[in-house]
């Protein structure tokens, strides 16, 4: 009986730990490989990146991608992004699946229009994240680069921002080469109810080239297009995402609890 109570107590302690899948500032070099924080408020956008149905019934499958630099040899084990729903209206009953893809880099060329963009697909997973409310971003806009939603501008107000946390299984870790540029795309999948569209949030942090967008259709994918501010085309847009490794303090605490439990078990069992 005492042994059962001990292990119930240990299980409760582990469950009471902070959710390791979430990401919170400040930046921690022991945990964070790459950080582009969300831009909250005026000047911020949520860019349509969904497999959904436009008003009128036509399908849309838009993807957005942004570049990042591998700056250490640790594998990507967790991916965190921010986003919002068009008109702050998430779809009821949607299973919450996202397609995440990592690509090689096609560097910028010498001619105008030869901006850098995603290359070959190196890694791709369809995953269901944990989700938590991040905050209100009053004054930001939802943006459809095709300008079908809220035509002719493609812009509409919304303000509820959510954090989406993807924790990878060890066999799915993405291992990279330090000093190499990669691209990450994120797309909400399988939204079948008209009127619901997910957008990936922009970031104040700028690195490398502009983010890019493309459309997927029956005949394949369109070219990648630069993502610029629709109200100020001279301004580059980058996306909000964080790449992390497991949080050391959390794992140390779990291991410590396990060792303490084993020692207590041996004392009780004697």
Largest Cα–Cα distance in the chain?
77
Q: Say if CB 68 and CB 238 are below 8 A apart.
A: no
Give the pLDDT score at 239.
Answer: 98
Query: Is it the case that residue 250 has pLDDT exceeding 50?
Result: no
What pTM value is reported for the model? 0.84
> Cα separation of 80 and 177, whole Å?
21
Give yes or no for residue 61 having a pLDDT over 90: yes
Report the chain's mean pLDDT, rounded to a whole number: 87
Task: Choose among 227, 43, 233: nearest CA to 145.
Answer: 227
- DSSP-based helix, strand, coil % in the chain, nearest 5: 15, 40, 45
pLDDT-based confidence at 220, cuts 50/70/90?
A: confident
Closest residue by Cα to residue 60 from 200, 189, 154: 189
How far apart CA 191 and CA 96 sit, in angstroms, is 9
Give residue 245's pLDDT. Answer: 85
């Amino acid at each position: 009986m005492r042994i059962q109570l001990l292990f119930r107590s240990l299980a409760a302690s582990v469950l009471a730990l902070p959710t390791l899948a979430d990401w919170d500032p400040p930046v921690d070099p022991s945990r964070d490989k790459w950080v582009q924080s969300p831009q909250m408020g005026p000047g911020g956008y949520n860019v349509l990146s969904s497999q959904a149905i436009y008003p009128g019934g036509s399908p849309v499958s838009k993807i957005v991608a942004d570049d990042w630099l591998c700056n250490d040899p640790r594998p990507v084990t967790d991916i965190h992004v921010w986003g919002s729903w068009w008109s702050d209206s998430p779809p009821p009953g949607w299973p919450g699946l996202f397609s995440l893809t990592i690509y090689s880099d096609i560097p910028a060329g010498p001619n105008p229009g030869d901006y850098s963009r995603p290359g070959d697909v190196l890694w791709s997973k369809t995953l269901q994240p944990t989700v938590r409310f991040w905050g209100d971003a009053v004054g930001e806009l939802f943006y459809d680069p095709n300008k079908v939603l809220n035509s002719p501008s493609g812009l509409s107000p919304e303000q509820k921002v959510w954090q989406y946390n993807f924790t990878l299984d060890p066999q799915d870790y993405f291992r990279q080469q330090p000093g190499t540029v990669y691209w990450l795309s994120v797309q909400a999948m399988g939204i079948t109810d008209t009127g619901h569209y997910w957008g990936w949030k922009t970031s104040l942090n700028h690195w490398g080239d502009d983010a890019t967008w493309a459309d997927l259709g029956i005949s394949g994918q369109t070219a990648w297009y630069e993502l610029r501010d629709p109200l100020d085309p001279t301004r580059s847009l980058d996306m909000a995402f964080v790449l992390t490794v497991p949080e050391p303090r959390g794992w140390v605490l779990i291991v410590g609890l396990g060792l303490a439990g084993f020692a207590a078990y041996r004392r009780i069992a004697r």
